[in-house]
Amino acid sequence: MPTNIKHREHTMNQQTYQAALAAFDRANAEDPNMEMSEGREYPKELLYALRMTEMQERYAPEASEAVKLAVRAQHIQRWKSPRNAYPMDRTGYLQWRTGLYKFHAETAGELMKQAGYDDEMIARVRTTISKKGLKINAETQLMEDVVDLVFIEHYMIGFASAHPEYDEEKWIQIIKKTWQKMSPRAHEFALSGKLKLPQTLVPLILKAVQ
């Protein structure tokens, strides 16, 4: 293929990619819930999406375009499907999670279509966001790694503060469940010093994973 055609196709692909990211960010910027980070206020799900991309670039900069898109859209417009819309028991929780995966995948897919993506790429991103093939599908596993690393670095301490009733045994169970979803590469990254572990939880994290 002539170089100028390759360059034109690459430029078009980049334009489509950037258009999709911008659409995801606009959708998440509508979140009425706000959160502070480093002295600045953000719509909650926009901040989460930016943290996901930052972690993916730190952990796996070589990730495919499909993974990068899935990472940015993983929680897209989550506030539109609140937990309390389902029964507040284990069955209701599972229904909520299943419904969320479908909602996020469909919302991201529609925005990607508007940005100019073909059905094949949309299907890959929807599969990844839906967490299909965890431990089998490499793209799904990579996104799951990023999800768990972001949770540990940014959200685990807040989760701990919200549940003062949890004892050490309960926390070890939660950490182990998170750890089991991660790949060996993510385990190594988390313990390498490259992840900012919540200091007050470090003893529990080390106890759980060892």
Residue 5 has pLDDT above 80, yes or no: no
**Per-residue pLDDT, 163:** 84
Tokens matching residue 33? 């819930």
Q: Which residues make Cβ contacts (< 8 Å) with residue 95, sequence separation at least 6?
A: 86, 87
Within the chain, strands assigned E span 34-37, 40-43
Alpha-carbon span 68 to 57, nearest angstrom: 9
What band does 11 get if pLDDT is binned at 50, 70 and 90?
Answer: low
In the structure, what pLDDT confidence band is assigned to residue 2 with cuts at 50, 70 and 90? low
Annotate 71-98 with b (16+ C-beta within 10 A) or e (fewer): bbbbbbbbeeeeeeebeeeeeeeeebee
DSSP symbols for the chain:
--HHHHHHHHHHHHHHHHHHHHHHHHHHTT-S-EEEETTEEEEHHHHHHHHHHHHHHHH-TT--HHHHHHHHHTTTTGGGS-GGGS-SSHHHHHHHHHHHHHHHHHHHHHHHHHHT--HHHHHHHHHHHTTTTTTTSHHHHHHHHHHHHHIIIIIHHHHHHH-TT--HHHHHHHHHHHHHHS-HHHHHHHHTT-S---GGGHHHHHHHH-
SS3 (DSSP) at 162: helix
Residue closest to 45 by CA, chosen among 82, 19, 2, 11 = 82
66, 165 in Cβ contact below 8 A? Answer: no
Residue 8 has pLDDT above 60, yes or no: no
Query: Residue 4: is its pLDDT beyond 70?
Result: no
Entry pTM = 0.91
Which pLDDT band holds residue 164 (cuts at 50, 70, 90)? confident
Q: For the segment 113-138, what is each residue's pLDDT rounded down to a tens digit? A: 999 999 999 999 999 999 999 889 99
What whole-number distance in Å separates Cα of residue 130 and Cα of residue 140? Answer: 8
- Residue 46: its pLDDT value, please? 98
Residues 170-203 pLDDT 10s: 888 989 999 999 999 999 999 999 999 988 888 9
